[in-house]
Amino acid sequence: MGGPAVNFEQAIAQFDPVLGLEVHVELNTETKMFCGCPTTFGGEPNTQVCPVCLGLPGSLPVVNATAVESAMRIGLALNCSIAPWSRFARKNYFYPDMPKNYQISQYDEPIAVNGFLEVDVEGQTYRIDIERAHMEEDTGKSLHVGGSTGRIHGADYSLVDYNRAGIPLIEIVTKPIEGTGAKAPEVARAYVTALRDLLRALGVSDVRMEQGSLRCDANVSLRPFVDAPFGTRTETKNVNSLRSVERAVRHEIERQAQILADGGRIVQETRHWHEDTGRTTAGRTKEEAEDYRYFPEPDLAPVAADEAWVERLRATLPEPPAQRRARLQQAWGFTDLEMRDVVNAEALELIEATIAAGASAGGAKKWWLGELARRSNDSGVALADLGIEPAAVARVEELISEGSLNDKMARQVIDGVLAGEGSADEVVAARGLVLVSDDGALTAAVDEAIAGNADVADKVRSGKVAAVGALVGAVMKATRGQADAARVRQLLLERLGVEE
């Protein structure tokens, strides 16, 4: 390095970025790609294995038909053509987490080709062309113990868990994404987000980036001007959150611009993204890259997807996420901003389910984006994983609207449900949360409050209606929060002879 530091705006002023995104999706099939082992996440290491996914001598793969159908549905949802004839191929390289030292993948005959996905960034639509979507098997997972890098080199020893080996993966590869300019990082994020939403709507994957069921590799290159030949690209791996996708692309644009501005050359290599430092470090260069010696997998028959099969699957496609969002926004009467908050909080399905269970749109949004979002942020647990069902939220909302709970009590009910004390009604019963709205019981407390706060009462009488809040507070305190605050206010004003 020599010259002055290049920031993102300067980088974009001098160079035109071109992106390419490769997304790996773990399918949520019950069994693995080529054997009957379960795919559940988080099992004891090497308990979800068999001769096939361990690659024991003599074992043979058998294709999981559900995984093939998922791949075809993904292809169709991405507007791809489904190949009438597609083959598996072996990708040969040695690594301890690969039981056979080859990965069954697809090479020159993938299941789906030539599609696109449209994404919106700040009101502008970008069409992302899809090169291909192909099927493959996941590898095992290595844990390198000792050493400073957590990588295999320098480790004292390594452990391998083959539970993940053979889990079906779909790799979705874009064509070069051009013309995004300064919006490149946002477009990259929007694409992965849109893809995630689409995959979730298809129901084919858990799409949990933090669990690795959705993984993104970002290819970035710079060129001096639009329409110039592509520059040398780098491929950034280990980008494991939506935010990281944006940050990694931005960082790589800056890093490459700095090198080019200093008169250097970009090396074609893989780079590793580090979430903590926000930087990438060099991995394997092109010269060190393996020759994978792809050849057609002789243990498997080609997949022949006839027209009828394709059309039957096309009929199962869900409403496209963008269309669905627009429909729900209109039905719920949310503003664009409100809808964006809902989507960003990953609360769309939760709110939809809460409304379906009887809540109003406003009520459902209030809980999921308010109290529950706060708890999700505090605990770092996703909304959907907090441990409260949309139906429980709808019930709480119902109890409020029928006057049985106030907001404060409702929060206690939420506490109880989250603590595993049972359903909303069970928590209400167990904790004795009954809103005191019986005027008889409240009248005494109201009189007491007026007697004990004569100065405030006088203020109210003299027309400062806002001061009644202090008296409401006193009544609420006396009733330990179990009074209907609105009714208390009404009774106080009546007693003091004040009209609002």
Partner 1 sequence: MHDKTALDLAAGIAAGDFSAREVTTAFLDRIAATDGELNAFLLVDTAGALAAADSVDADRAEGRPLGPLAGVPVAIKDVLATEGLATTCGSRILEGWVPPYDATVTRNLREAGAVIIGKTNMDEFAMGSSTENSAFGPTRNPWDTGLIPGGSSGGSAVAVAARQAPLSLGSDTGGSIRQPAAMCGVVGVKPTYGGVSRYGLVAMASSLDQVGPFATTVADAALLHSVIAGHDPHDSTSLDAPVPPVLQAAQNADIRGMRIGVVKQLAGEGFQAEVRAHFDRSLELLAGAGAEIVEVDCPHFEHALAAYYLIMPSECSSNLAKFDAMRYGLRVGDDGNNSVEQVMGLTREAGFGPEVKRRIMLGTYALSSGYYDAFYGQAQKVRTLIARDFAEAFAEADVLATPTAPTTAFPIGEKVDDPLSMYLQDIATIPANLAGVPGMSLPVGLDEKGLPVGLQFMAPALADDRLYTAGAALEALTGWEARP
Residues found near partner 1 in the complex (CB under 8 A)? 51, 54-63, 90, 92, 94, 96, 99-102, 152-153, 158, 160, 291, 293-295, 298-301
> Which residue type, as a one-letter code, is found at position 327?
R
Instruction: Report in angstroms how near the CB of residue 156 gets to partner 1 at its nearest.
Output: 9
3-state DSSP assignment of residue 480: coil
Give, as one character, the DSSP assignment of residue 483: B
Instruction: Report in angstroms how near the CB of residue 200 gets to partner 1 at its nearest.
Output: 31
Specify the residue, 60 or 434, whose C-beta has the smaller distance to partner 1.
60
Give, as one character, the DSSP assignment of residue 367: I
Specify the residue, 102 or 191, whose C-beta has the smaller distance to partner 1.
102
Specify the residue, 71 or 496, whose C-beta has the smaller distance to partner 1.
71
Instruction: Report in angstroms how near the CB of residue 287 gets to partner 1 at its nearest.
Output: 13
Rounded to whole angstroms, how far apart are CA atoms 273 and 217?
Answer: 10
Specify the residue, 98 or 220, whose C-beta has the smaller distance to partner 1.
98
Nearest to 198 by CA among 127, 117, 128, 126: 117
C-beta of residue 487 within 8 angstroms of C-beta of residue 495 = no
Q: Which two tokens stand for residue 289?
A: 């890259």
Instruction: Report in angstroms how near the CB of residue 84 gets to partner 1 at its nearest.
Output: 19
Q: How far is CA 75 from CA 102, 221, 250, in A?
A: 25, 27, 29
Helix (H) or strand (E) holding 449: helix 439-452
Specify the residue, 41 or 292, whose C-beta has the smaller distance to partner 1.
292
Residue 80 exposure: Cα atoms within 13 Å on the Cβ side: 28
Specify the residue, 152 or 326, whose C-beta has the smaller distance to partner 1.
152
Specify the residue, 168 or 416, whose C-beta has the smaller distance to partner 1.
168
Residue 21 exposure: Cα atoms within 13 Å on the Cβ side: 32
Instruction: Report in angstroms how near the CB of residue 271 gets to partner 1 at its nearest.
Output: 22
- Reported in sequence order, the residue ranges of 226-353 that DSSP labels E, i.e. its strands, are 234-239, 269-274, 279-285, 295-296
Tell me the CA end-to-end span of the chain in Å, nearest whole number: 72
Instruction: Report in angstroms how near the CB of residue 58 gets to partner 1 at its nearest.
Output: 4
Rounded to whole angstroms, how far apart are CA atoms 363 and 428?
Answer: 19
| Other Cβ atoms closer than 10 A to 370 | 12
Residue 319 exposure: Cα atoms within 13 Å on the Cβ side: 8
Instruction: Report in angstroms how near the CB of residue 393 gets to partner 1 at its nearest.
Output: 46
